[in-house]
A and B are shown apart, each in its own frame.
Chain A
Amino acid sequence: MRSLSLKATLISAMLFLVFIGAWHMATLPKESLTLSTADAEYTALMGKGAEKSGGFPPPLEVGKAFVKYLSDPFYDHGPNDKGIAIQLGHSLARVGLGFFLAVLVAVPLGFVIGMSPLLLRAFDPFIQVLKPISPLAWMPLALYTLKDSNVSGIFVIFICSIWPMLINTAFGVASVRRDWINVARTLEVNPLRKAFLVILPAAAPTILTGMRISMGIAWLVIVAAEMLVGGTGIGYFVWNEWNNLALPNVIFAITMIGVVGMLLDMIFGRLQKLVTYRE
């Protein structure tokens, strides 16, 4: 077992090195084919000679961006320029709040729907129509009605994370083994106790799966939403650097988004393990 994970790590490292090497080779500076203009002034105004973003950045430049931003993650140079940790903090706060609100709505509602086959059928058409709507399509409507860009961002997270949780909760609750419910009925357990002591633990793994999917989607959506409404957050950071066509910084931000997304997923993976049971 240990040797397997060691081997996997080795191969991962090798893949990474190969990737960086290929990237480096592909972005080696080419001799520019355009004949150098004799006019030195023109060349200077075009920024030749100085550091300039010509084409795709080589790994070294991206590495510099990593060092630059990670060495000072908490700086604050005014409302439009903050350190990476602060930006990620803003994004996580929005995701956290929107997600939390979605849990508050989706889990109880899913529970009720799951317990009653009638309600499950009645709600189904609405869920099926609302589920496939791209969360960002809600943005103009949210901005217009909620009249606050920050609240709109949170609303978009809320609306995109609610469906997987709702469906999974309903499904999990509906498919609790009949035997367990029958045992509870024989023992004359009152409905509230039945819900919390029998159904909830039985459905918990499915509910957690729903939450994990929701969190994944929410993290995808927040970046796009922040690129749209801006202000703060990792999405705004990407947009701001795109304005400047500063690709090394954009690549740095993309990597950060990936790392944070992975960490979030790992947290939910752990939680899922905690509630899993063997039948």
Chain B
Amino acid sequence: MSLHDPFDPNSTMSNCSCGQHASQAQHDIASSDVDALSSRVVQTAVMRALFPHDGERRKFLTAVGASTAWAAISSLVPFGALEAMAQDKGALEKKDLKIGFIPITCASPLIMADPLGFYKKQGLNVSVIKTAGWALIRDKVINKEYDASHMLAPMPIAMSMGIGSSPMPLNVATIQNVNGQAITLHVKHKDKRDPKMWKGFKFAVPFEYSMHNFLLRYYVAEHGLDPDKDIQIRVVPPPEMVANLRAGNLDGYLGPDPFNQRAVYDEVGFIHILSKEIWDGHPCCSFGVPTQFVKENPNTFAALYRAVLTAAAMASDPKNRPLMAEVLSPANYLNQPKTVLEQVLTGKFADGLGGVQNVPNRAGFDPFPWYSMAVWILSQMKRWGYIKGEVKYKDIAEQVYLLTDARKRMAEVGMTAPKESYQKFKVMGKEFDPAKADAYVNSFAIRRT
């Protein structure tokens, strides 16, 4: 959505208003004044409604002048009230928040919102707290030690359904990142690039209810291996993966970055494939918030939402990636060498086999929580026996993933949200139709149903 002055006849409703940025989103980050920004959104929306064709708006504005137009339209449309409604700018119910994260690049948006001051700009005093593993994240969220947290995309679904923990209703406010994972193998397996040769391998994933687990299972199953019988899959917290690979406890892992790149950097592993080669655009982590928190603190939640989305908008732009590597590398955040983070974020990386690859979309930060993502996750949970019986795919997806809210908040910070809520996509060449999830599950030869 374009957010330059809609009362300027010379502007088109696209690009940025000062001309120095590629898009309005970047312009607004550069000169972000959230109040002005969101009132702009409302004005633009109203002008759009009045003049569906840009040409008419321009003619009208040049004919009567911007100030007359403003006076005329504002007498008819209560801009002030609309803006207040759009912003939920009530008093913040809670200002001091604790947000947990695992030190991986997936958490980039919610981490960088801290050093870049996006939380402060929304009037929030947030401490982002490094956590040792996903099980601990789960427990600390259930114990209310964290108000919100970095979570794997399937975690809020599993926790809301009470799988692997006592049930606790959670919501996914945004997806944190897409792609950005990889299958890393130990250097001694350089000649075993065909998954059919992986029988008896010990693999690690960060958590049972993770995209990593589902993608690894999917990948080996497509190559004819049964993930429950032919290979061993263990749960290892991401930060401990490289140390375990070095010690020879693991043959490989489908893990989050920077630990794939770190294994290459430390010459213990090589990158077999990037996860985008399994499903380009797959979600990985999400921003999970307990439903109770959303209900009790609507204004705080809205402010938090805007802060994280602003960070996501910034992270989505490849131009900002070197800056992100710089901001995220200190001990307080990811605690990794800058060059490792740069390789992950810019997509120009050493693969551990002597080659330099250039994959600009190695990691992405599209925040939109598609319902279809949740449906795919549920389909895999069913496929591998994590959930038994009939699954109400749509109901669960629409209850946990806050797509409507995300659309609204994305508009507030000047991001373009897709109009659809479900989409078809391909995983390793096989099409997934969210409307036919059960048929999809049954179409696989290797499954636990």
Contacts and interface: CB of A to CB of B under 8 A. Distances in A.
Nearest to B166: A144
A228 B240 CA distance: 12
Interface in B222-255: 239-240, 242-243
B257 to A, nearest CB: 13
Interface string A62-73: 000000000000
Interface in B121-142: 127-132, 136, 139-140, 142
14 contacts: A42-B356, A47-B265, A77-B332, A80-B331, A147-B144, A148-B143, A149-B145, A230-B131, A230-B132, A239-B132, A240-B331, A240-B335, A242-B239, A244-B337
Contact of B339 (A42, A47, A147, A239): A47
B176 to A, nearest CB: 18
A127 B136 CA distance: 30
B264 interface: yes
Given A77-B332, A144-B139, A229-B136, A240 B130 contact: yes
Interface of B: 103, 114, 127-132, 136, 139-140, 142-145, 239-240, 242-243, 262, 264-267, 330-333, 335-337, 339-340, 343, 348-350, 354-356
A5 interface: no
Nearest to A35: B354
A279 interface: no
B132 A143 contact: no
Interface in A106-163: 143-144, 147-149
Chain B interface, DSSP helix/strand/loop, else mixed: mixed
Contacts of A240: 130, 331, 335
Given A45-B350, A227-B132, A243 B335 contact: yes
A143 B143 contact: yes
Contact of A243 (B239, B264, B355): B239
Given A42-B355, A149-B140, A230-B136, A245 B262 contact: yes
Given A81-B332, A228-B132, 7 more contacts: A47-B265, A50-B339, A79-B130, A80-B128, A143-B139, A239-B239, A242-B240
Interface in A29-64: 37, 39, 41-42, 44-47, 50, 52-53
Given A229-B132, A230-B132, A78 B332 contact: yes
A53 B262 CA distance: 11
A261 interface: no
Contacts of B242: 245
Q: What 4 A-B pairs come out closest when comparing CB atoms?
A: A81-B332, A243-B239, A45-B350, A147-B143
A79 B356 contact: no
Please classify the interface of chain A as helix (H, G, I), strand (E, B), loop, or mixed, using the class held by over half of its residues: loop
B267 A46 contact: yes
Given A41-B356, A143-B143, A46 B264 contact: yes
A144 B168 CA distance: 14
Contact of B265 (A37, A46, A81): A46
B128 A79 contact: yes
B330 A77 contact: yes
A230 B143 contact: no
Interface string A9-46: 00000000000000000000000000001010110111
A245 to B, nearest CB: 6
A45 B239 contact: no
Contacts of B145: 148-149
Contacts of B265: 46-47, 52
Chain A CB count within 10 A is highest, among B129, B262, B335, for B335
